[in-house]
Structure 1
Amino acid sequence: MEKVIIALQRADSDEAWCTRMRTDVAADLLELGLPGVAINVRDDVVRHSLMTLTVLDPPVVGFVTVWAHQYYAEPVTAAVARLESEADRVAAYLVTESVPLPPPVTAAGARTDGFANIALLRRPTDLDEATWRQRWHINHTPVAIETQSTFGYTQNAVVRALTPGAPAIDAIVEELFPEAAVTDLHAFFGAPDDDELSRRMERMVASTTAFGANRDVDTVPTSRYVYRTPFVADNRIG
């Protein structure tokens, strides 16, 4: 089983577009017979998130994640083709998935509680891949979990881009936060007071700086919808 994440760049993500993505577009993708389909959109619930950072122009406003038996097979290419009419640019990436903190199970097509903050990371040129991966996966993972109010954490290392002209991205990280964290830093970091907030933020910044995730990064707050999963033990089969 292979995982492909498709980033959608668009000048805006109004509610009409978000609704179409999670209804009509989702239905079209499910008809392709893909083992797994999930959609994330930057809608009104998350639009004013404090943690929004943008490098790409136009910005990424949504993601479609699909699981397939072969990334190069017709269902994946058909999914990319279908999405091209929904965005100014569509960029697909083959990834390997690590899940330090599994997300909660939701009913097929239901909105996941809270919101998903998705970060697009680039490896700094002065860090070799082995050092970067060590600092990200081994050193940073426990810090991220201990200093934030995350209740789901998925790390996707990019193997390669699958579409021509896709922006250079080395990792795509999805973290689930409570909805209060959209506009409240204390809720985002799970800090009961200002002193603890400062301590957690300082620890987080030091950790992200070590592998270059403090700069040249896009963070996209989204609402998350899982329509079908390839994992049999998970009951989100749609």
Structure 2
Amino acid sequence: MEKVIAALWAAPDQDRDAFNERLRTTLPAALRAAGASTVRINLRDAAVAPAHKLIQQWQDPQQDAVVQFWLPSANGLFRAEADAALAAHSSRFAAWLVAESTIIPNTAHPVPTGERGWGWSQASFISFRPDLSRLDAIKIWHSHHTRVAIDTQANFEYVQNLVVRPLTEGAPGYDAFVEECFPAEAMDDPAAFFDAVGDPAKLQANLATMMDSCGRFIDFTRIDIIPTSQYDC
């Protein structure tokens, strides 16, 4: 089995609520008919509007949704039906083959299939610093930063996806996709995000530690970070 991450764009004049509803209600079945399993959809919707200050943008326009799923093979010879389903539900899409690593599984707030996940999900497309080799960047990310992200944040789900290769022509050159889930309060309360409610000193320490760690391997000029509502379909 291979995991695919796809970024989807709505047409500029498309009603965003209608776009989201169609993704949520008809895309999962279309992907399953194409051989996909474990479909997850991350939607930019009104529920995550309070997190707008956390958006970081490289792509213009920025992606409107993210779809994650598994296929027996992501080889182009066997992916045509899945690509057709994505194309039929968006004005355009980009896809990547990834290697998933679940750092913190969501055991705290399990959600029934088809319902919106508790809290919200920060979907991060990241690129590594150009002055680092890929192996060095991964070493910093896995051997140092992973522990920092666990210790300094109130994330109850944390999944790392290392990009193996792009699957579509012109896909942005990201190196990884990271999904982290937080309580709703963390959308607009830094203390809730950094697990420091009622403790200003801890907030400043956790924020500084996290930013320093990110700066060791991330190229902040080539990242897209979007708040989303998470659906396992």
User: Alpha carbons of 1:13 and 1:6: their partners in 2 closer, same or farther (altered >3 Å)?
Assistant: farther
Equivalent of residue 132 in structure 1, options 99, 118, 137: 137
Amino acid at match of 2:228: T
Separation in 1 of the partners of 2:164 and 2:77? Answer: 20
Q: Quick one: which amino acid aligns to residue 65 of structure 2?
A: G
- What is the alpha-carbon distance in structure 1 between the residues aligned to residue 42 and residue 33 of structure 2? 19
Structure 1 residue runs without a partner (length 5+): 228-238
Whichever residue aligns with residue 218 of structure 1, its letter is: D
Which residue identity is paired with 1:203? T
Q: 1:120 aligned to 2:122?
A: no
On the 8 A contact 2:22/2:89 being kept in 1, the answer is no
In the alignment, the residues of structure 1 paired with residue 86 and residue 27 of structure 2 have an alpha-carbon distance, to the nearest angstrom, of 8
User: Structure 2: 5+ residue runs without aligned partners?
Assistant: none
Distance 1:165 1:73 in 2: 15
Alignment deviations for residues 168-188 of structure 1 (CA, whole Å, 9 cap, x no partner): 110000001111111111111
Distance 1:196 1:189 in 2: 8
Aligned equivalents of 1:88, 1:219: Cα separation in 2: 21
- The one-letter code sitting in structure 1 at the alignment partner of 2:106 is P
SS in structure 1 of the partner of residue 229 of structure 2: strand
Letter in 2 for 1:6: A
SS at structure 2 position matched to 1:46:
helix
Q: Which residue of 1 aligns with 2:225?
A: 219
Counterpart residue number, 2:114: 109
The equivalent of 2:28 in structure 1 is 26
1:5 is the counterpart of 2:5:
yes
Offset from partner CA, 1:159-205 (integer Å, 9 cap, x none): 00001111111000000111111111111111123222111110001
- 1:81 corresponding residue in structure 2: 84
CA deviation vs aligned residue, 1:63-104 (integer Å, no higher than 9, x gap): 111101111266632222222233333101000011111123
Distance 1:29 1:114 in 2: 26
Calculate the TM-score normalised by the size of structure 2.
0.91
After superposition, the Cα gap between the structure-2 partners of 1:142 and 1:221, relative to the gap in structure 1 and judged at 3 Å, is same
> CA 1:119 to 1:26, structure 2 compared with 1: closer, same or farther past 3 Å?
same
C-alpha contact (below 8 Å) 1:149/1:177 kept by paired residues: yes
Number of corresponding residues: 227
- The CA distance in 2 between the partners of 1:166 and 1:157, in whole Å, is 15
Is contact 1:33–1:75 with CA below 8 Å preserved after alignment? no
**Which has the larger displacement, 66-75 or 141-150?**
66-75
> CA 1:128–1:74 in 2, change beyond 3 Å: closer, same or farther?
closer
Counterpart in 1 of 2:163?
158
Larger helix share, 1 or 2: 2
Q: Distance in 2 between matches of 1:177 and 1:213?
A: 24
Given the two structures, how large is their TM-score scaled by the length of structure 1?
0.89
Change (3 A) 1:39 1:93: same
Look up the match of 1:97: 100
Q: Please point out which of 205, 210, 217 is paired with 1:204.
A: 210
